[in-house]
Amino acid sequence: AGQFHDAGLLDELIIQVGSVTLGQGKPLFPRRVLSPVLRLTDVRQMGEGMVELRYSIRKR
């Protein structure tokens, strides 16, 4: 996802978050995406302990 963002090819980011601690794994983006680039557009509960976050991505 980081390479697509760097190339300006993303216009929306959808992240599903569960209330589980794994302690390991790869980060979603290998580098930090600054929050001013992201605008939260929707939040949906997806069952017990799960949410879906939708962000629009502003072009630079």
Range of the domain at 28: 2-57
- Going by DSSP bridges, is the β-strand pair 12-18/38-45 parallel, antiparallel, or unpaired? unpaired
- Model confidence pLDDT, tens digit, residues 19-60: 766 667 666 666 665 556 789 999 999 988 899 999 998 876
**Res 6 pLDDT > 70:** yes
Please give the pLDDT value at position 17. Answer: 87
Say which DSSP state 50 is in: E
pTM: 0.65
Please give the pLDDT value at position 35. Answer: 59
Please give the pLDDT value at position 53. Answer: 95
Structural domain tally of the chain? Answer: 1
Please give the pLDDT value at position 21. Answer: 66
